Amino acid sequence: MIQLEHLSYQYPDGNPALSDITYHFEAGKCYCLSGPNGCGKSTLFRILNGLSFASAGSYLLDGVDVTEKKMRDKAFAASLHRRIGYIMQNTEVQLFTRSVEEEIAFGLYQMGLSDEEVVARVEKYISLLGLESLRKRSPFTLSGGEKKRTALAAILAMDPPALIMDEPLNGLDEDGQQWVTDFIRGLKTPDRLLIVATHNKDLISEIADETIYMTKEHTFR
C-alpha cells in the first residue's frame, strides 16, 4: 500500500531527518515504529500525510508517486487524505471545532457526504467511542483521554484504509492507555494498514505485526 524508495529528508538548515529509507507497508498489517526522540518518526508521518515532502527518493501510495506538485492539486490531496487518517501526537491542536459532534462531522462534510450519511456516521462513532455525554462539549475542555477518543472518532468516521498514529498513549493515565491499546487492537482488519509510533513496549507487544526501529542515524533497522 505504501512504498518508500530511498526516501531522505533534510530540514531547511541542512540537518537530516530521514536517511535513505526503503520500506513497504502492506495493508492488513500493524506496524509499530519505535526509536529515540528526534530520530524522524514524526517527520516520516508528515511525509506520509503529504504535509512535508522528501528531499530525495520517492513515496508511493497504492503505486502512485506522492509529490509536492501533485499535492497542489486539490483533488489529489483530498484523495490522499481520505486514504490516510492521521492522529497527531498532540491531539489538542487537532481538535478545532465548537463541539465533539461537529469535530466528527468536519471531515465527513469535506468528503462531500450527504447530511443523512454524516448524521449516521457521527452517531455511529459517538456511540462506538462512548462520547454520548460529551457530544455538545467543546473539545478543548475535555480531558486528555476524551480528546484522544474524539480525535480517533473524527478520523475513523472518515473510514480511511490507512491509519497513522503518533504516540497514541501520550499523556494518558493507565486506564486510558489500556482503553486505547484495546481499541487499536480492535482496529486491525485484513484491509486496514496501521502505523503506530510508540515508545511503549506493552503496546508494541499487544498490537504489532512488525516492529521497526528507527536509529539516531534516521534510518530503519
Q: Which residues bind another protein (CB under 8 A)?
A: 46, 49, 51, 74, 77-78, 81-82, 84-86, 88, 90, 92-94, 96-99, 101-102, 104-107, 109-111, 118, 122, 137-138, 140-141, 154-155, 158
Report the residue number, 113 or 204, with the smaller CB distance to another protein. 113
Closer Cβ to another protein, 91 or 198, answer by number: 91
Nearest-approach distance from CB 201 to another protein, in angstroms = 28
Minimum CB–partner distance for residue 137 and another protein (Å)? 8
- Cα–Cα distance between 209 and 91 in angstroms, integer? 25
Residue number with CB closer to another protein (84 or 214): 84
- DSSP lists the bridge partners of residue 58 as 5
CA distance to 13, 136, 139, 151, per residue, from 142 (Å):
37, 11, 5, 11
Quick check: 21 and 4 in contact, CB under 8 A? yes
Q: Which residue has the cell 500500500?
A: 1
Q: Taking the complex as a whole, how short is the minimal distance between the CB of residue 2 and another protein, in angstroms? A: 15
- Taken in order 191, 35, 200, 92, the sign of the CA dihedral is negative
- Least separation in angstroms between residue 206's CB and another protein is 26
DSSP 91-105: HHHH--SSSHHHHHH
Whichever of 2 and 208 has its CB closer to another protein, that residue is 2
Which run of H or E residues covers position 18? strand 16-25
Query: In angstroms, what is the minimal distance from the CB of 111 to another protein?
Result: 6
Q: Which is nearer to another protein, 7 or 154 (CB)?
A: 154
In the complex, least distance from residue 42 CB atom to another protein, rounded to whole angstroms? 11
Rounded to 5 degrees, φ, ψ at 134 are -110, 0
- The DSSP call for residue 165 is E
| C-beta neighbour count of 90 within 10 angstroms | 12
Measured from the CB atom, is 83 or 188 closer to another protein? 83
